[in-house]
């Protein structure tokens, strides 16, 4: 990885009554790229 990354806490702990809001919240969480996942796996 060429940039420094830090973990961020998730503010949404439960979806509540609205499934659409939950899906939107889940989709806003960044995921690792293939390269980042490979780099972490090799550590």
* Position 2 pLDDT exceeds 80: no
Residue by residue, DSSP assigns the chain as --S-------S----TT-HHHHHHHHHTS----HHHHHHHHH-
User: What does the pLDDT look like over 5-30, one tens digit per residue?
Assistant: 777 666 655 556 688 888 888 999 99
Please report, for the chain, the start and end positions of each structural domain, with discontinuous segments joined by +. 11-42
Binning pLDDT at 50, 70 and 90, where does residue 34 land? very high
Q: Give me the pLDDT at residue 3, please.
A: 65
Structure pTM? 0.39
Q: Confirm if 1 and 42 have CB atoms less than 8 A apart.
A: no
**How confident is the model over 25-36, as a mean pLDDT?**
93
């Amino acid at each position: 990885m060429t940039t420094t990354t830090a973990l961020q806490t998730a503010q949404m702990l439960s979806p509540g009554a609205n499934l659409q809001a939950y899906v939107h919240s889940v989709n806003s969480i960044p995921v690792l790229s293939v390269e980042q996942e490979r780099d972490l796996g090799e550590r």
